[in-house]
Chain A
Amino acid sequence: MTMPFMRPPKKNPILRTRVPTLPPWTRSRVALGLTAAAAVGRFELQSCDDCGTVQYPPRESCHQCLSIALRWSPESGEGQLLSETRLHHSNDLFFRERLPWRLGLVQLASGPTLMVHLHGDVPAAPCAVRVGARLDRAGQAVLIAFPAEETPHMADDPQLREMTCDPRHRKVLVTDGKTAVGQALVRALAKAGADLVWVGEAEPWKKSPGLDALSDLPCVTRVPLDLTDERSVLQLAGELGGKVDILVNNAEVHRPFGISARRGTEAARAEMDVNYFGLLRLAQGFGPAMRARGADGQAGATAWVNLLSVYALSNFPPHGTYSASKAAALSAAQCLRAEMRAGGIRVVNVFPGPIDDEWNQTLPPPKLSAEGVASAIVRALRDGVEDVFPGDVAQEWFERWRESPKTLERELAQGGT
Chain B
Amino acid sequence: MSRRDYHGIVVTTPVTVPYVRYSTHGPHRFLAQALDSLLQGSGLAKEAIDGLTVSSFSLAPDTAVGMTQHLGVSPRWLDHIPMGGASGVVALRRAARAVQSGDADVVACLAGDTNRVDSFRLMLGSFSQFAQDATYPYGSGGPNAMFAFITAHYMREFGATREDFGKLCVAQRANALRFPHAMFRKPLTLDEYLGARVIADPIHLFDCVMPCAGADAFLVMTEDRARAAGIPYARVLGAIERHNAFADDPIMFRGGWLLDRDDLYAQTGVGPDAMDFVQTYDDYPVIVMIQLEDLGFCEKGEAAAFVRRHTFTHDGSFPSNTSGGQLSAGQAGASGGFLGMVEAIRQLTGAAGERAVTDARFGLVSGFGMVTYDRCLCTGAVVLGAA
Interface residues of A (CB under 8 A from B): 23-24, 26-28, 31, 56-58, 63, 82-92, 94-95, 101, 103-105, 107, 113-117, 125, 136, 138, 140, 142
Contact = CB atoms under 8 A, between A and B. Distances in A.
Interface in B139-163: 139-142, 144-146, 148-150, 152-153, 156
Given A94-B140, A95-B140, 16 more contacts: A24-B125, A24-B137, A27-B137, A63-B247, A83-B148, A83-B149, A83-B251, A85-B148, A86-B200, A92-B140, A95-B139, A103-B149, A115-B374, A116-B138, A117-B138, A117-B139
B299 interface: no
A26 to B, nearest CB: 6
Interface in B103-152: 120-121, 124-125, 129-130, 132-142, 144-146, 148-150, 152
Nearest to B133: A31
A104 B153 CA distance: 11
A26 B132 contact: yes
A104 B135 CA distance: 11
B47 interface: no
Contacts of A88: 197-201
B250 interface: yes
A31 B199 CA distance: 29
Given A83-B152, A86-B200, A125-B156, A115 B141 contact: no
Contacts of B142: 91
A103 B130 contact: no
27 contacts: A23-B137, A23-B140, A27-B137, A57-B134, A57-B373, A82-B149, A82-B251, A83-B153, A85-B200, A85-B203, A86-B198, A86-B200, A87-B144, A87-B199, A88-B198, A94-B140, A95-B141, A103-B145, A105-B146, A105-B149, A107-B250, A107-B251, A114-B134, A115-B146, A115-B373, A125-B152, A142-B137
Nearest to A56: B134
B152 A90 contact: no
A115 to B, nearest CB: 5
B132 A136 contact: no
A227 B121 CA distance: 46
Interface string B206-239: 0000000000000000000000000000000000
Contacts of A89: 141, 144, 199-200
Given A82-B250, A83-B150, A115 B138 contact: yes
A26 B134 contact: no
B199 A84 contact: no
Contacts of B121: 91-92
Interface in B178-205: 197-203
Interface of B: 120-121, 124-125, 129-130, 132-142, 144-146, 148-150, 152-153, 156, 197-203, 247, 250-251, 373-374
A91 B120 contact: yes
Nearest to B202: A85
B251 A105 contact: yes
Contacts of B156: 83, 125
B379 to A, nearest CB: 19
Contact of A115 (B120, B129, B135, B202): B135
Contacts of B129: 28, 31, 57
B203 A90 contact: no
Nearest to A58: B133
Given A84-B152, A85-B152, A91 B374 contact: no
A87 B153 contact: no
B152 A103 contact: no
A140 B132 CA distance: 12
A20 to B, nearest CB: 17
The CB with the most chain A CB atoms within 10 A, among B132, B133, B148, is that of B133
A91 B250 contact: no
A85 B135 CA distance: 13
Contacts of A23: 137, 140
User: Top 6 closest A-B pairs, CB basis?
Assistant: A92-B140, A85-B148, A57-B134, A31-B133, A83-B149, A107-B250
Contacts of B133: 27-28, 31, 57-58
Contacts of A116: 138
A58 B142 CA distance: 20
Given A56-B134, A91-B124, A125-B152, A24 B373 contact: no
Contacts of A94: 140
A37 B139 CA distance: 22
A48 to B, nearest CB: 15
Contact of A26 (B125, B148, B199): B125
Given A90-B140, A103-B139, A31 B200 contact: no
B313 to A, nearest CB: 30
Contacts of B137: 23-24, 27, 136, 138, 140, 142
Contacts of A31: 129, 132-134
Contacts of A125: 152-153, 156
Contacts of B135: 115
Contacts of A104: 149
A7 to B, nearest CB: 28
B55 to A, nearest CB: 23
Contacts of B138: 103, 115-117, 142
B132 A85 contact: no
A187 to B, nearest CB: 37
Given A57-B133, A103-B145, A86 B140 contact: no
A94 B156 CA distance: 31
A67 B45 CA distance: 52
